[in-house]
Chains A and B, each alone.
Chain A
Amino acid sequence: MSLLEVNDVHTYYGNIHALKGISFTVDEGEIVTLIGANGAGKTTTLRTVSGLMKPRNGTVFYADENIHDYEAHKMVSKGIAMVPEGRGVFGKMSVKENLELGAYYRNDAAGIRQDMEYMFSLFPRLGERHSQVAGTMSGGEQQMLVMARAMMSRPKLLLLDEPSMGLAPVLVDSVFDTVKRVSQEGMTILLVEQNAHMALQIADRGYVLQSGEIVLSDSAKNLQNDPIVQKTYLGVD
Chain B
Amino acid sequence: MTSIAAKNQQGQVQSLWKLISDESQPYHHILRMGFLAGITLLFLGLIGMLEAFNEREVIRDVVTLAQFVLFVPTFAAAYMAAQRIREEQSIGMVLVAATIIGLLSAIPTIVILLINTQVNIRDMFVHVNRDWLEIITFDNRNQLGLGIGLLLGSLGLAGLLGAVLQNLPQKIRRSVIFGLSLMLVIGVMSETVGLIMQEIFTDDFLDNFFKRDTLLLNSAIGLFVFGVALIWVPDKVRRSFVFGLVVAMVALGLRNLLLAIDSLTSIIPTSEEGFLDVFLYFLLPFVAGFAGRLYLEYGSRDSNKAKTDTKATTSTGRPIRVDLIVSIAILLVAPWIVGRALSDVMVTIGIFVLMGIGLNVAVGLAGLLDLGYVTNYAVGAYVLAVMTSTGPLGLFNSQEGVIVNFWMVIPVALLAAMLAGFVFAVPVLKMRGDYLAIATLGFGEIIGRLAVSDALAPIIGGAQGMSFIPKPELLGFTLKDPEQLYYIILVACAITLIVSIRLNNSRTGRQWMAIREDEDVASAMGINVAQAKLLAFTISAATGGVAGAIFAAKVGTVFPNSFSVIVSINVLSLIIVGGMGSNPGIVVGAIVLIGLPELLREFSDFRWLMYGALLIWMMNNRPDGLWPSQVRRRELIGDDSSPPADESPMMASE
Contacts and interface: CB of A to CB of B under 8 A. Distances in A.
B134 interface: no
A90 B514 contact: yes
Contact of A73 (B510, B523, B644, B654): B523
A174 B644 CA distance: 19
Given A123-B652, A177-B651, A92 B631 contact: yes
Given A123-B651, A139-B647, A133 B510 contact: no
At the interface, is chain B mostly helix, strand, loop or mixed?
Answer: helix
Contacts of B524: 50, 52, 72, 75-76, 81-84, 88, 150
Contacts of B306: none
Contacts of A175: 650
23 contacts: A52-B524, A71-B530, A72-B520, A83-B524, A84-B521, A88-B521, A90-B517, A90-B521, A92-B517, A92-B632, A93-B631, A100-B510, A101-B514, A104-B507, A104-B510, A104-B527, A105-B526, A122-B652, A123-B652, A125-B652, A133-B642, A135-B635, A136-B644
B645 A174 contact: no
Contacts of A123: 650-652
A101 B638 CA distance: 21
Contacts of B644: 136-138
**Interface residue tally of chain B, by bracket?**
35 or more
Interface string A168-201: 1011001101100100000000000000000000
Given A84-B524, A137-B644, A137-B645, 4 more contacts: A72-B520, A88-B521, A125-B650, A141-B650
A104 B513 CA distance: 13
Interface string A81-101: 111100010111100010011
Interface in B74-101: none
Interface string B512-538: 011001101111111111100000000
Interface of A: 50-52, 71-77, 81-84, 88, 90-93, 97, 100-102, 104-105, 121-125, 129, 132-133, 135-141, 143-144, 149-150, 153, 168, 170-171, 174-175, 177-178, 181
A170 B649 CA distance: 8
B101 to A, nearest CB: 41
B512 to A, nearest CB: 11
Q: Which of B518, B521, B649 is most buried by chain A, counting CB atoms within 10 A of its CB?
A: B521
B634 to A, nearest CB: 6
A76 B525 contact: yes
Interface of B: 507, 510-511, 513-514, 517-518, 520-530, 631-632, 634-635, 638-639, 642, 644-652, 654
Contacts of A125: 645, 648, 650, 652
A162 B647 CA distance: 19
Nearest to A50: B524
Contacts of A88: 518, 520-521, 524
Nearest to B654: A177
Contact of A92 (B522, B635, B648): B635
B582 to A, nearest CB: 14
Contacts of A77: 526
B528 A71 contact: yes
